[in-house]
Structure 1
Amino acid sequence: MHNLFLGNLRHHCMDVWGIDIKGRTGKKVAPHTPEEQASWLHRVVEGIRKDSKNALSKIRIGYLATIAQFNDIDPGSLLTKRAYITALLHWAKSHPIDELKLPPVLNEDAVDFHLAEGKYDISKFRVLTPDVMEIIRDDIKNTVLPSWMERPPHNFGSAAHGKLKADQWRTVCTVSLFITLTRLWGNAPSDSKESALLDNFVHLVTAVDLATRRSMDVDRANAYDDHMQRYLQGLLDIFSHQLVPNHHLSLHLTSCLHTFGPVHGYWGYSFEHYNGILGGLNINNIAEHIALTFMDGFYAGAELRRLMATIEWPHSPEYHDMMEAYHRAFQDTARGTRVSDTRSLGHEQATAESIRAAYDSGSKLTALDPNLYPALLRWMPSGFASFYANAEDSRPRVAPHVCRASSISHLGLIFATRQHSRRNSFVIFTHPETGDKTAGQIADIFLHARVEGGTRVIAAFVAMDVYAGLTDVHAKMDPYRAFTSLDTRLYYNYFQSTVLVRLDDVLAHFAALTYTPEAIGVECIVARSLDRVSEPH
C-alpha cells in the first residue's frame, strides 16, 4: 500500500510532476512571448544587482529557478520562491554580477519559464499547467464514482485540501488523472511531449492496477514487472529523475506477487485504519491512561454506530439533519479499499443471503414487463415451461411475477437502480447475446422464485440499459483503447437496447464521465472499469 500508492503514485504527482512546488500559482496567468521572457530575465539580473528581495518577489518562480539551475546555484531542499531568491542573492555576495549567465529564451510562448533541454523539453514546473489542472478538477467534480470508492478532493492540487490518504491517491491517479489526461493527450502525435508524459504515467497506473487486483497469476505478475520497469526507465529518459528507494522496492514486489499472491492478503489497510483511530483520539499525555482512553473511545464509537443503525428515528427535518451529519462524520468507515476488500471475502454466500432477504422482506409481487418475460424464460432450466404454454404441457410453469428491489448486494458491493442510487447503477456486465463485456446502467432489479426439486429457488435478474458501442470508424478515435490493460473505453451516451441479465453476469461498477470528443463530435461516456478480478475485454 505505502509503496504503490504513496511511494509511487504520490511521488510521481508531487515530486516528478511538481504539484507540491510551493509558490506555483493555480490562477490563470498570461503566457510570456520570447521577447517578454528576455525582458523578465534581465529584471532578475537587475533585482540581484540591487540586492532587492522585493523586486525579485514580483518575478515568476520559473525565471528564478531556471537562472539558478543554469548557474548551478542550489536553493536547498525547499523549492520555494523565497528559497531561490535567498540563494541568488547569497551567490551575488561572492560573485560579480557579470558572471551570472542567462538561459536562452524559449521558441514558444510560456506561462512557466524553464530550461529547454532534452528531447521533449519537459520541466516539472510545467507538466500540469493551470489550464490542465482546471480541467482535472472539473472532471473530478463530474465523474460518477460508486459509493464504496473514496472521491478525490474537488480542489486537487491545492494545499487547501490537506493531506490525501493512500486510497485517495489511488483513485485520483488510476481513475481521475487517467481519464482526464488520456482524453487531453491520448490523440497527441507519438513524438510529442504530451504523448511521452501520458505513456510514462500510464505505465505506472497499469502497474499499480495489475498489482492490486484481487486475483494473481504468473502472467499478471510478470506484466506488472514489465510496466514498472518501463515506467522507471521513462523517469530516467524523460525527466532525468533520480530514483528513490521506493522505486527499487517496487521491483521486488514481483517476487512477492509470485510467492504470496494478491497483495490485499498482506497489505496494511487495517493497521493503517487503527493508526488513524489512535492518532485521532484526544489523550491527556499520561502514558498509563492512554490504553483506557483508547478503549473508552472505541466502545463509545461502537455504541454510537449501533444506536444510529438500529433506532427508527422520527421522520422530521431535525433528525434528518442529524443523520446527514452522522454519515458525513463516519463516511470513511463504509468506503475505501479496506472495506471493499473485507466485503469481497465470502461474497457468494453474502449475495445469496441478500437475495433471500430482499425477496422475503420486499414489496408485493408485480407483473413482469411482457417484453422481458421471453428473456426470463431463456434463463430457466429446460424442465420449465412458459406460463402461457398449452394446457397439454405438463411441465411446471415459470411465473410472470417478480419482486422488485431498488438495490442488492453482490460481489461484496451494492448495486442499485439509477432511480435509487445513480452512483451504483453504472456497471460492466457480460452481454447475454454476444458474451462480450460491455457497459450499461441498471434500470430495474427483480427477484424471481420457482420451486425446483421441492426446494424454493430465488434468482436475481437485472434489466440493463446497454450503452451503444462506437462504430468502427469512431472506435479508432477512442484514445482509451490504446491502453488495453486498464479496461477503459468510450461509448455513445445513449442506450441502444435493454437486456435481461443474471445478477452473476454483473461484473463491476465503472467510473463514468460524459464529454464530447472533438474527433468524434458526439457526446460519449467514458467507462473506466473498476473490476479488480477479471481480465480486461
Structure 2
Amino acid sequence: MHNLFLGEVRHHFRDIWGLEVKDSQKTRDPSTHSPEDQKKWIDHVVKALRTRSLSSLRKARRGYLVAFCQLNGIVPTETTKAHYAAALSNWVNRHSSDDVDAVDLLQVPPPLSTATENFHIADNAYDVSKHQVFTASIIGKVRSDIKGTYLPSWLERPPSNFGSSSHGKLKADHWRTICTISLVISLVKIWPHDTASSSELKVLENFVHLAIAVDLASRRSMSPERARLFDAHMASYLRGIREIFDHDLVPNHHLSLHLCTCLLLFGPVHGWWAFPFERFNGIIQRLNTNNKIDEIPLSYMRLFCLGSRLRHIFDSTDWPDEEEFDDLTFAFRQMYPDTTQGSRIVDTVSAASKLARQNSLRDLFNRLMKKETQLPEGTYAELMQLLNHCGSASADGAAAPFIAFPDTRDLPSSRLHRRAIFIPKLELGNITYGTRDDNIRNSFVCVRDPLSSDTTSAPIPGQISQIFLHRRTTPDHEEDLIEPFIVIDLYATLSQAHSAHDPYLRFPLLNTKLVYDRFSRSILIRPEHIVCHFARLLYQPDHISEACNVVRALGRVCVLHAFPTYMSLIISCRTSCASVLSRSR
C-alpha cells in the first residue's frame, strides 16, 4: 500500500499542490494584492533579476516566482520559495552573455484581472495553478484543525506543524491519516459548496476522489463492488489531475489502476501488504546480534515459536483463583500483550480467546473489588432492561429474565446484583475505550442502540461517560460472570434546516457529518455495540446558530451514512481507465 500512501498521497500534496511551507513567527494572514499591486511585484522580480540581487528576489511572494518559472519552463530541484528564486537566478546567469541580458528573453506573466492573495498563472478553465493550492492561509487552518482534533490512541497523530520540514520524514501511516482524516475534516469546511469558487470546488472534488479511493482500498473487508468503486474513484482522480493541473502521470499512478485486480483476487490489503515485513525488519534491526549474524534466523524463529506457545498456555489454561496466579497472569499480559490487531483473527474469536477475556476481566475485578459501589437507580434499571432485552445474546445465554435484587418472590429468574466497579478505561485487545473525564481521546465512538428495532440505521455518534464492571450469577448458579458495560451520551443530530448547511453530506463515502455539540440522551450498551471510534473536531459553522462537532467515523468495515448501493455509485462515477491513460500521452 506504499503505492497509495507514499506514491499517490505524498506525490499529490508535494508535487501537485506544492506542500512546502517555511516555518515563520508571523501569524497574520497575507494581504490581498490588487491587479496594480501584482504589476508592481512583477516589475520588482524583473528588476531583481536585472541587478542579480538574490536577496531582493526572495522578497517577492512565492506565487510570483512560481509563475515566472512555470511560464519559462524552469524547474527547481525543490518546490520551496528559496529554490524557485535560485532556479530563476541561475537560469538568467546561464543564458546571459556580454551582448545579451537573459532577462529580456524571459516571458513575463501578466497580472490577474482580480485581486488575490496567491498570484498564479490563469492558464486553464478552472483558474488553478499547480503548486499553488497549499497556501500559507490554508496550511494555517489545517494545522489549527490538527491540533484541535481528537483521535483515538490506536491512531498515530500527524505532526501539528504539518507542511514543515522540521517534523522530519512522515511515515506511510501519517500520510494515510492526513489524507483520509485531517484534510477531509479541514478542506471540506474550508471550501463549502455555497461560498467556494468553482475552481476551489473542482480541486476539492478531485481530492475527495483520492481520499475515498485510499480509504476504500485500506478497508478490512472487501467485496467486488467495493473494489470496483475504488477503481472508479481512482480513475476519476487521475482524470482530474490531468484536466485541472495538466499533470503528467507517473508509474505509481499506472500501478494504482491495477490494484482493483489485486483486491478482487486477494481480498483486503491487510492480508498481503508489506507493513508486517517492514515492522519485522525494524524489530530485527534493533536486536542485539552479538556479531553472530549466521545465528539470527534460527534464534528469531525459536523465540517466535516460544512466545506463541506461552501465549497459548496462558490463554487456554484455567488458572486457580488465587492471588499469586492472578499476579502472574497479569504480569505476563502486560509484558506480552495480544498482537492480533490488524488481522482477520479479531473477527473470528476462538473459545480460548473468549476464556482469556473473561479471565482478564476477572483479574481486573478482583484487584479493584474494594472500589465496588452501588449503581445509580437509573443505570441499574437500564442494565436490567438491556440484559432482559438481549438475553439470548448475553455472555451467559440466559433465557429467563432478571429481577431486581433483593426480591423475595419465588420466580425462575436470576436476581441482578446492584453493585459494580467503575473504571476509567477498558482495553479489549489493542483497542482502548475511555471515559471523557479520564481518557477523552478514546471516548468518542459510534454505536448502535441495542434496544432499537431498526437494525439498518446508521451508527449514532456519542461520547463515553462511564464504564463499569458488573458481576452476575449464571442461571445454573455455578459461577459468576464479569462483564463490562458502557454508558454513552448520544449527540443530538442536526435539524432538517441545519442539515442543508452540512458541507460533508455532499460526499457520503467520506463517512463524515456534523452533529450538535450537545447530548440528546444516554443509553447503556455492551462493548460489542460499539461500531468504531470517530475523530472529533469542535466547529462553529457560519449558517448554524450553535457549535457543532465534526464526526469522521474511523471504522475500517462499516460506514456512517446510509447511502445508495455501491453499484449505483459506480454507475454514476465510473470512468474508463483507458481514457485516463490516453489523456496522459
Q: Shorter-normalised TM-score: what interval? A: 0.7 to 0.9
Output the CA distance in 2 between the equivalents of 1:125 and 1:419. Answer: 43
Output the CA distance in 2 between the equivalents of 1:5 and 1:208. Answer: 8
Conserved? CA contact 2:491–2:518, under 8 Å: yes
Deviation (angstroms), 1:60: 3.1
Conserved? CA contact 1:416–1:425, under 8 Å: yes
Cα pair distance change 1:431/1:297, threshold 3 Å: same
Aligned to 2:379: 372
Matched, 1:89 2:93: yes
Conserved? CA contact 1:347–1:410, under 8 Å: no
Aligned to 1:305: none
> Identity of counterpart residues, as a percentage?
38
Unaligned runs of 5+ in 2: 303-335, 392-398, 562-585
Matched, 1:442 2:464: yes
Find 1:451's aligned residue among 457, 467, 474: 474
Output the CA distance in 2 between the equivalents of 1:55 and 1:459. Answer: 70
Deviation (angstroms), 1:185: 1.1
Deviation (angstroms), 1:419: 2.6
Matched, 1:461 2:485: yes
Deviations 1:193-215 (A, max 9, x none): 22111111111111111111111
**Aligned letter for 1:107?**
S
Conserved? CA contact 1:139–1:176, under 8 Å: yes
Deviation (angstroms), 1:233: 0.9
Output the CA distance in 2 between the equivalents of 1:24 and 1:236. Answer: 33
Q: Which aligned pairs between 1:266-345 and structure 2 lie closer than 5 A?
A: 266-277=272-283, 340-341=341-342, 345=346
Conserved? CA contact 1:23–1:61, under 8 Å: no
Cα pair distance change 1:38/1:470, threshold 3 Å: same
Output the CA distance in 1 between the equivalents of 2:340 and 2:88. Answer: 45
Deviation (angstroms), 1:162: 0.8
Matched, 1:35 2:5: no
Conserved? CA contact 2:9–2:179, under 8 Å: yes
Matched, 1:181 2:173: no
Find 1:255's aligned residue among 261, 265, 277: 261
Matched, 1:238 2:255: no
Output the CA distance in 1 between the equivalents of 2:461 and 2:37. Answer: 50
**Aligned letter for 1:451?**
T
Aligned to 1:114: 120
Cα pair distance change 1:259/1:468, threshold 3 Å: same
**Aligned letter for 1:357?**
S
Conserved? CA contact 1:281–1:294, under 8 Å: no
Deviation (angstroms), 1:461: 1.9
Cα pair distance change 1:23/1:522, threshold 3 Å: closer
**Aligned letter for 1:14?**
R
Deviation (angstroms), 1:4: 1.2
Output the CA distance in 1 between the equivalents of 2:557 and 2:448. Answer: 14
Deviations 1:79-136 (A, max 9, x none): 4121222113323446664443322101233333221121221123431211111111
Matched, 1:161 2:167: yes
Matched, 1:495 2:519: yes
Q: Secondary structure at the match of 1:197?
A: helix
Conserved? CA contact 2:22–2:164, under 8 Å: no
Which sits farther off after the overlay, 485-494 or 188-197? Answer: 188-197
Q: Secondary structure at the match of 1:408?
A: strand
Conserved? CA contact 1:384–1:396, under 8 Å: yes
Deviation (angstroms), 1:423: 1.1
**Aligned letter for 2:380?**
Y
Conserved? CA contact 1:229–1:251, under 8 Å: yes
Matched, 1:518 2:571: no
Kindly report the root-mean-square deviation, in angstroms, between the aligned alpha carbons of the 2 structures.
3.3
Q: Which aligned pairs between 1:77-156 and structure 2 lie closer than 5 A?
A: 77-79=77-79, 80=83, 81-93=85-97, 97-156=103-162
Q: Secondary structure at the match of 1:498?
A: strand
Matched, 1:393 2:399: no
Deviation (angstroms), 1:499: 0.7
Cα pair distance change 1:486/1:89, threshold 3 Å: same
Deviation (angstroms), 1:236: 0.9
Q: Secondary structure at the match of 1:511?
A: strand
Conserved? CA contact 2:16–2:247, under 8 Å: yes
Aligned to 1:203: 209
Between Structure 1 and Structure 2, how many residues are aligned?
A: 499
Aligned to 1:425: 443
Aligned to 1:353: 356
Cα pair distance change 1:226/1:441, threshold 3 Å: same
Output the CA distance in 2 between the equivalents of 1:60 and 1:293. Answer: 55
Output the CA distance in 2 between the equivalents of 1:24 and 1:367. Answer: 56
Aligned to 1:330: none
Output the CA distance in 2 between the equivalents of 1:334 and 1:446. Answer: 22
Cα pair distance change 1:30/1:292, threshold 3 Å: farther
**Aligned letter for 1:119?**
A
Conserved? CA contact 2:414–2:475, under 8 Å: no
Aligned to 1:484: 508
Output the CA distance in 2 between the equivalents of 1:451 and 1:502. Answer: 17
